A and B are shown apart, each in its own frame.
Chain A
Amino acid sequence: MNYLGAAFAVFGAALAAILSGMGSAKGVGLVGEAAAGVVSEDPSKFGKVLILEILPGTQGLYGFLTAFLLLARIGLLDGTIVSNPISTSRGLMLLAACLPIAIVGYFSAIAQGRAAAAGVGVVAKKADQSGKAITMAALVETYAVLTLLVSLLSIMSIVGLK
């Protein structure tokens, strides 16, 4: 039995989960440091800075979602891959399908972390402007969402190919 195609697909799933997870960890960590700075001076702002801290965490979820969907669609989770293995070329296509969310997820999470950390500074000085700080940081999310869609649509299309 040739599992090379499945190996490529699993490698793609791993990249999606690892890279976007790493980006989110860095982004959330950065905002967390900034948030701690504000909360150490004014604990009442915890709720507002928490929202900003959560924002860069979504890319990690997108990577996890992509990886989970791929593993489920190739039959690795329920064991059907044994009876219905995927070809090498399809495996490579699935690997390529994972790259958008893996790469853009990594960089956008870090960029969003920086924007959100700057937003924490805004909240520190003008708590009533937190909505604007959140909006500015949330705009970075657009590109992660777009690549998530590309990755998900590609995976579903590739698995459905005859």
Chain B
Amino acid sequence: MKIKETDYAFGVAKIRANELDLLTPVDFDNLIAANDYRSALRILEDKGWEPTENGASFAPMLEKFEDKTWQLVCDCLPDVSVFDSLILPNDFYNLKAAIKAVFSDLEPNDYFIKPFVTDPALIAEAVTNKKFDILPKHLKDTAVEAYDAVVRVGSGRLADIIIDKASLNVALAGAKQSGNEALTALAELSCACANIKIAFRSAETGRDTDFMLRCMADCDTLDNKRLAFAAAEGGREAIAEYLQFTPYAEAGEKLSESAVAFEKWCDDSVLKGIGAKRFSAFGAEPIIAYYLTCLAAVKNVRIILSAKLNGVSSEEIRKRVRNINV
């Protein structure tokens, strides 16, 4: 049955109530300005984040926050499959982890991430026992191809490329299938950002166009061939020049500035992409926006706490922290 936008009334209202607990730009300023790591942790604990044990890593705190956020999102959605296109890349990450763990004699469960569409135990079983038929359609072919790349070619890097590309393509296809414009725009933006990153990094490391085209995901808003040729011939400047004629002109400017500025632009654009619909009383967009805001908050907290632990200056942290407008 098709979900109507009014079916989200309960979820959107619940999200609105929870938005009060999100970290605001002022909170991030306070975190950046905190004297040290401990002071930053105290600010987070005051805002309701799970306290960390004395001297312990902050990773469990972030993990608990992510779990809590996902649980809330599930409570708010009339059908969780709406979020599949946002979650599918995690399945591919888990596939990558399973392949690497199997070939390195490690325990795959230690490397899996949540949330997921496909049970990681199933992925682990498929990779361990080479029973790829038990995997869902979106993972099966990629798993076989990536596994072969490791076994026959002996290239873990090629396996990564295969999985990363499939991850973006499957997420975009899933978003288009969902019929949700915001999700489609987000998936398209993710593909475009990934392709620009590939072009930029390949240019920096002297890779050829064939390699770039093999890595790039299908993208409606970018001409991959032109992007790859620009990268191969003129590097960063040529990429920026080509991007001027695409919806990513601003990305080109940021890329000319620095790789850090470009990465920040990519993340900031994800939240901007939802636009005014995030303030709507109905529809999935406010819930998508909340979820992405929480993920951005986790990323910011990770950047700030890592920087505090390593004594990075506030100015440097500020350059990397993502914009969050609650």
Whether A85 is near chain B, meaning CB under 8 Å from some CB there, is no
Q: B residues 1-36 with Cβ under 8 Å of A? A: 6, 9-20
Residue on A with the closest CB to B5? A114
**B18 in contact with A117 (CB, 8 Å):** no
Interface residues of A (CB under 8 A from B): 30-31, 33-38, 40-42, 45, 114, 117-118, 120-121, 124-125
Residue on B with the closest CB to A122? B16
Other-chain contact of B17, A30, A31, A42, A118 (Cβ < 8 Å): A42
Where chain A touches its partner, the secondary structure class is helix
Known contacts A30-B6, A34-B281, A114-B281, A120 near B19 by CB under 8 Å: no
Whether B265 is near chain A, meaning CB under 8 Å from some CB there, is no
**B12 in contact with A34 (CB, 8 Å):** yes
Which 4 A-B residue pairings sit nearest by Cβ, starting from the closest? Answer: A37-B13, A118-B281, A37-B14, A41-B17
Where chain B touches its partner, the secondary structure class is helix
**A34 in contact with B17 (CB, 8 Å):** no
Q: Which residues of A contact B83 (CB under 8 A)?
A: none
Least CB distance from A51 to B in Å reads 15
Known contacts A124-B16, A125-B20, A33 near B10 by CB under 8 Å: yes
**A121 in contact with B13 (CB, 8 Å):** yes
Q: Name which of A35, A42, A117 has the most chain B CB atoms within 10 A of its CB.
A: A117
Classify chain B: how many residues form its interface, as a range.
10 to 19
Least CB distance from A109 to B in Å reads 14
Bound CA–CA A45/B16 (angstroms): 13
Q: Which residues of B contact A45 (CB under 8 A)?
A: 17
**B9 in contact with A117 (CB, 8 Å):** yes
17 other A-B residue contacts (CB within 8 Å) besides A40-B17, A45-B17: A34-B9, A34-B10, A34-B12, A34-B13, A34-B281, A35-B13, A37-B13, A37-B16, A41-B18, A114-B281, A114-B282, A117-B6, A117-B281, A118-B281, A121-B16, A124-B16, A124-B20
Least CB distance from B174 to A in Å reads 26
Least CB distance from B114 to A in Å reads 23
**A124 in contact with B9 (CB, 8 Å):** no
**A125 in contact with B9 (CB, 8 Å):** no
**A37 in contact with B6 (CB, 8 Å):** no
Known contacts A114-B281, A118-B281, A121-B281, A36 near B10 by CB under 8 Å: yes
Q: Name which of B13, B18, B76 has the most chain A CB atoms within 10 A of its CB.
A: B13
